[in-house]
Amino acid sequence: MGLLTDLKQNLKKGIESTSQRSKKLVDISRLTIAIKGKKEEEERLYRQLGFEAYHLWERKEKWEITDSLRASLSQIRSIRETIQRWEQELEELKKQEAKERLEKKSSEGGPGAPAVDTSPSQSAPLQSEGISPEVLAELEGQALFICPHCTEQVKEDAVICPHCNKHMYHD
């Protein structure tokens, strides 16, 4: 009877571990996709700013900052701040994932293996900003495995992405 109880507990731990890993990969992937989208928006604003500045110069043959240019610069600054905040959050998620993998490896090493602090990070998961509600609803509750580098879907047990050949948990 003790064998079945141990087997049940080990199975439960394995399912919880897989679920947590899936959630982390989804969070990492969501952040990566959101950052990619914001960077594309930033690039679009840079092109728009250049276009506006050139046309102002072309008309007057001198450089001046108009309200339109100020608004574009302000938008770019705001987007840059969002990207930096999300990149920091992404790094925290990756560090937390690496810590948990290290802890798992050390716990598999038996007695004498180094202990690792795995207290939860204060990093909040990605808010829905930047991702459509339909995509969030579709992803909610499903175990999707997405490469955090190229955002392609990968198999559950993938460690190296078959699309971009990068390690799933390292840069």
- Per residue of the chain (171 residues), what is the pLDDT tens digit? 577 777 667 666 666 666 666 777 788 888 888 888 899 999 999 998 888 888 888 887 777 788 888 888 999 999 999 999 999 988 888 888 778 777 777 776 544 444 434 344 333 344 434 455 555 555 455 566 778 888 788 887 888 889 889 887 776
* pTM tops 0.85: no
Read off the DSSP letter of residue 162. Answer: T
**pLDDT at residue 125, rounded to an integer:** 42
Taking CA atoms, 164 is separated from 47, 147, 151, in Å, by: 28, 9, 10
**pLDDT at residue 149, rounded to an integer:** 80
Interior CA angle at 134 toward 31 and 141, to 5°? Answer: 70
Q: How many CB atoms lie within 10 A of CB 47?
A: 10
In a 13 Å sphere around the CA of 37, the CA atoms on its Cβ side amount to 12
**pLDDT at residue 21, rounded to an integer:** 67
CA distance 104 to 21: 12
**pLDDT at residue 1, rounded to an integer:** 55
Helix (H) or strand (E) holding 134: helix 133-139
**pLDDT at residue 91, rounded to an integer:** 87
Which pairs count as long-range contacts for 49-55, CB under 8 Å and 24+ apart, including other chains?
Answer: 49/73, 49/76
CA distance 128 to 135: 10
Q: How many CB atoms lie within 10 A of CB 90?
A: 21
CA distance 41 to 47: 10
Burial bucket for residue 93 (CB in 10 Å: 0-12, 13-18, 19+): buried
